[in-house]
């Protein structure tokens, strides 16, 4: 030990038992190992498979539509018709362009059906009307259905148009010649959202509840399946079964949420939202969707659960089901084994519809904002995976990056101190020899370019270490225990990285320069009891140095120190002199360090009484005192016992005989 000072046995015994460090500032790894990890990032031009990882996706040609979202579509030969909202418009897509042909008095065109003459029937939201839109864009009323607001779906059977409606969940039959409508079936649900034909029978998918109905004839409704959730959003016949998209949203169609976006991504490429700002990235934001299968033998089974939120339209190709997702602008592809992969990552938030071709999805329809994407057309989009913004508790040093896969994989990174990224972030910088070159910061993004057609990314590991920040001693307390004659020292310390801490405790006499150590190794506790029997009387200071060496080792440790307020060590007794003049005791009490705080006097063994300071107050280390004695003290002999106490609790006694 550097000083002869003696501390209680507890202190040195505990010093041998340093706690196991919580290695908060040791190197750590962000690990992208499966499909759920990669889905948190941005998949530009990529397809994501649950077992084979990320690969370049088919090319896409984008066709802008001047609307908020595409809700309905129908193909009539080479002509593709679109129904949109929030303002009800009808478009025709030809030769790579979307041309507005008509406006209707409704917030949305919910359904379309070819009229056989080059035009379409359009089912409207809000009025329960069906109008006819001719090839030249002329709009004429066709029929207004009673006691309904929305015409969600239409199919043609012979010379009849069958319409699914809501609220009320009814199906109407309209004679195409007379334009007369009659109630054909009442499903008992709130909405009939989709219709399909099975021979002469009608299949209806409903909302509130989510059920599948078979309508064999007029008013002959039979439930053939029910599903957990609120709505059947899409319906496809394939392989002796009906495939349905079922969502768990609170309402069939969230009209209240249909609000214009502040920026339409398709209008100006420069204004498209960046990956980290794209809406819909929250997995819980849109509820859950699933694809179910109802076989002709009556068996109902779930094909897959959507990892991308609610589903819109589905299509079936062989044993594969393709579905548009209402989160992140993605398309999901699943099979009977439950494996699901995500295709594309569009700038728009929602994929509201899709059209199937011989090799799968061939056309996509989006919302927020409206666009048509032709799969396999246009120039291939650069295939880039960008991580979400990854953050640490403090500035971090970036290290090794491992992009595991095949083909050409080019890794870049950028870093900064804000989330989302801003102009204050560093520029995208390529990794060198698999080491990230971005400067230390709190936040990081990494992107991997799949730069060859055969490229595949299956795993990504990113090493980082928080730049070690110094711990701090926030306060030091010293309390003199008069009963035990010890000094209880305690301190409060914290580490911003959560590292395990240890301490070096030193002391010095105030006014001197040399600090003396109170122990011979790092001290693990935040309190110490000092028995200062070998410390000369005086005012002392305590210095507590805190270090995070237990977590970082001697080379990487950071340390800071704090000095306490002065505390008094006073082990010397006061001195006292006194005399009796007549019947008055007159005396002087002095102490080298402490203030005199009390003088007690006992006459001939009687209970003691307090003497008074001559100046009226005991507040100095040299105090004159007086005490008037009783009248009988004039006749002796007598003996006085005088006891003086200083502020440290030290006492001195004087036995004074008088009157001999």
CATH code, domain carrying 37: 2.60.120
pLDDT tens across 165-191, in order?
A: 999 999 999 999 999 999 999 999 999
Residue 111: predicted pLDDT: 97
Question: Is 558 found in the same domain as 584?
Answer: no
Residue 252: predicted pLDDT: 32
Residue 258: predicted pLDDT: 32
Which pairs count as long-range contacts for 480-488, CB under 8 Å and 24+ apart, including other chains? Answer: 480/567, 480/568, 480/648, 482/648, 482/649, 485/531, 485/571, 485/649, 486/8, 486/529, 486/530, 486/531, 486/532, 487/529, 487/530, 487/532, 487/567, 487/569, 488/527, 488/529, 488/530
Provide the token pair at 659: 């009157």
- 231 assigned to some structural domain: no
Question: Is 474 found in the same domain as 555?
Answer: yes
Q: Report the alpha-carbon distance of residue 620 to residue 597 in Å, rounded.
A: 8
DSSP 21: P
Residue 570: predicted pLDDT: 86
Provide the token pair at 357: 């071709």
Question: Is 461 found in the same domain as 433?
Answer: yes
Cβ atoms < 10 Å from Cβ of 8: 14
Q: How confident is the model at residue 394 (pLDDT cuts 50, 70, 90)?
A: confident
Average pLDDT, the chain: 87
Residue 398's contacts (CB-CB under 8 Å, 6 or more residues apart) are: 413, 415, 436, 438, 440, 444, 462, 463, 464
DSSP secondary structure of 190-217: SEEEEEEEETTEEEEEEESS-EEEEEEE
Question: Is 451 found in the same domain as 414?
Answer: yes
Min mean pLDDT across 264-278, 293-307, 456-470 is at: 264-278
Question: Is 415 found in the same domain as 396?
Answer: yes
- 473 assigned to some structural domain: yes
How many domains in the chain? Answer: 3
pLDDT tens across 521-570, in order?
A: 999 999 999 988 778 888 999 999 999 999 888 988 999 999 999 998 88
Min mean pLDDT across 1-15, 43-57, 215-229, 297-311 is at: 1-15
pLDDT tens across 133-149, in order?
A: 999 999 999 999 999 99
Question: Is 462 found in the same domain as 495?
Answer: no
More confident of the two residues 442 and 284:
442
Report, as an integer, the average pLDDT of 206-215: 96
Question: Is 580 found in the same domain as 504?
Answer: no
Question: Is 486 found in the same domain as 427?
Answer: no
- 105 assigned to some structural domain: no
Cα 29-34-35 angle, rounded to 5 deg: 130
Strand 409-416 to 28-32 pairing:
unpaired
Provide the token pair at 565: 């307020």
Q: What is the CATH number of the domain that holds 530?
A: 2.60.40.10
List alpha helices for 133-239, DSSP H.
Answer: none
Q: What is the CATH number of the domain that holds 598?
A: 2.60.40.650
Of 435, 466, 497, the residue at which a domain comes to its end is 466
Cβ atoms < 10 Å from Cβ of 134: 15
Question: Is 582 found in the same domain as 496?
Answer: no
- 100 assigned to some structural domain: no
- 188 assigned to some structural domain: no
- Full domain range(s) for residue 515: 6-25+469-569
pLDDT at 276 over 70: no
- 451 assigned to some structural domain: yes
Question: Is 553 found in the same domain as 480?
Answer: yes
Q: Report the alpha-carbon distance of residue 641 to residue 652 in Å, rounded.
A: 11
Residue 317: predicted pLDDT: 87
Question: For residue 67, which of 484, 371, 450, 403 has the smallest C-alpha distance?
Answer: 371
- 600 assigned to some structural domain: yes
Of 466, 500, 531, the residue at which a domain comes to its end is 466
Residue 273: predicted pLDDT: 38
Residue 468: predicted pLDDT: 87
- Cα–chain-centroid distance for residue 34? 20
More confident of the two residues 288 and 120:
120
Share of the chain above pLDDT 90, in %: 68
pLDDT tens across 334-381, in order?
A: 877 777 888 887 888 889 999 998 878 899 999 888 999 999 887 777
pLDDT at 269 over 50: no
Question: Is 476 found in the same domain as 519?
Answer: yes
Question: Is 501 found in the same domain as 473?
Answer: yes
- 352 assigned to some structural domain: no
Residue 393: predicted pLDDT: 85
Share of the chain above pLDDT 70, in %: 90
Of 436, 466, 496, the residue at which a domain comes to its end is 466
């Amino acid at each position: 030990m550097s000083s002869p000072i003696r501390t209680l046995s507890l202190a040195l015994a505990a010093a041998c038992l340093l706690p196991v460090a919580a290695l908060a500032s040791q190197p750590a790894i962000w690990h992208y190992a499966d499909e759920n990890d990669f889905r948190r990032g941005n998949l530009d031009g990529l397809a994501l498979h649950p077992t084979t990882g990320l690969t370049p996706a088919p090319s896409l040609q984008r066709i802008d539509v001047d609307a908020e979202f595409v809700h309905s579509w129908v193909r009539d030969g080479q002509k593709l018709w679109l129904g949109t909202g929030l303002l009800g418009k009808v478009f025709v897509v030809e030769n790579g362009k979307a041309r507005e042909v008509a406006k209707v008095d409704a917030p949305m065109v919910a359904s379309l059906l070819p009229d056989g003459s080059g035009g379409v029937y359009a089912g409207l939201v809000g009025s329960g009307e069906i109008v006819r839109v001719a090839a030249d864009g002329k709009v004429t009323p066709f029929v207004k259905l009673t006691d309904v607001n929305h015409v969600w779906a239409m199919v043609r059977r012979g010379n009849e148009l069958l319409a699914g409606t809501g609220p009320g969940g009814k199906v109407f039959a309209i004679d195409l010649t007379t334009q007369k409508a009659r109630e054909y079936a009442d499903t008992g649900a709130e909405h009939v959202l989709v219709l399909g034909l099975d021979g002469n029978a009608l299949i209806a998918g409903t909302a509130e509840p989510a059920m599948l109905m078979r309508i064999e004839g007029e008013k002959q409704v039979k439930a053939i399946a029910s599903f957990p959730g609120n709505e059947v959003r899409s319906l496809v016949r394939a392989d002796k079964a009906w495939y349905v998209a079922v969502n768990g949203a609170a309402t069939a169609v969230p009209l209240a949420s249909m609000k214009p976006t502040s920026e339409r991504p398709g209008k100006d490429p420069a204004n498209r939202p960046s990956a980290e700002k794209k809406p819909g990235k929250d997995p819980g934001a849109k509820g859950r969707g699933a694809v179910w299968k109802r076989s002709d033998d009556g068996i109902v089974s779930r094909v897959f659960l959507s990892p991308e939120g609610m589903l819109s339209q589905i299509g079936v190709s062989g044993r594969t089901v393709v579905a548009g997702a209402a989160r992140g602008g993605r398309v999901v592809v699943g099979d009977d084994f439950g494996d699901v992969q995500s295709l594309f990552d569009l700038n728009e938030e929602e994929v509201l519809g899709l059209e199937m071709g011989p090799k799968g999805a061939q056309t996509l329809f989006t919302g927020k904002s409206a666009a048509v994407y032709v799969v396999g057309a246009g120039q291939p989009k650069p295939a880039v995976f960008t991580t979400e913004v990854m953050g640490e508790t403090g500035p971090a040093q970036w290290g090794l990056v491992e992009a595991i896969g095949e083909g050409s994989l080019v890794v870049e990174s950028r870093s900064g101190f804000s989330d989302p990224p801003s102009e204050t972030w560093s520029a995208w910088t390529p990794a060198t020899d698999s080491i990230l070159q971005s400067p230390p910061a709190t936040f990081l993004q990494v992107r991997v370019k799949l730069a060859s057609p055969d490229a595949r990314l299956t795993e990504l590991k990113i090493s980082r270490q928080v730049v070690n920040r110094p711990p701090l001693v926030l306060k030091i307390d010293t309390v003199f225990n008069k009963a035990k004659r010890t000094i209880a020292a305690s301190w409060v310390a914290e580490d911003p990285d959560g590292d395990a801490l240890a301490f070096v405790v030193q002391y010095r006499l105030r006014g001197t320069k040399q600090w003396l150590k109170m122990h011979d190794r790092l001290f693990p506790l935040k309190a110490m009891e000092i028995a200062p029997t070998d410390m000369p009387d005086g005012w002392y200071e305590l210095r507590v140095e805190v270090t995070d060496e237990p977590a970082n080792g001697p080379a990487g440790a950071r340390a800071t120190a704090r000095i306490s307020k002065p505390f008094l060590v006073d082990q010397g007794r006061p001195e006292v002199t006194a005399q009796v003049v007549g019947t008055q005791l007159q005396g002087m009490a002095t102490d080298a360090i402490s203030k005199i705080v009390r003088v007690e006097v006992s006459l001939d063994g009687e209970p003691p009484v307090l003497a008074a300071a001559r100046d009226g107050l005991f507040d100095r280390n040299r105090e004159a005192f007086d005490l008037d004695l009783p009248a009988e003290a004039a006749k002796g002999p007598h003996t006085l016992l005088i006891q003086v106490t200083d502020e440290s609790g030290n006492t001195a006694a004087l036995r004074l005989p008088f009157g001999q």
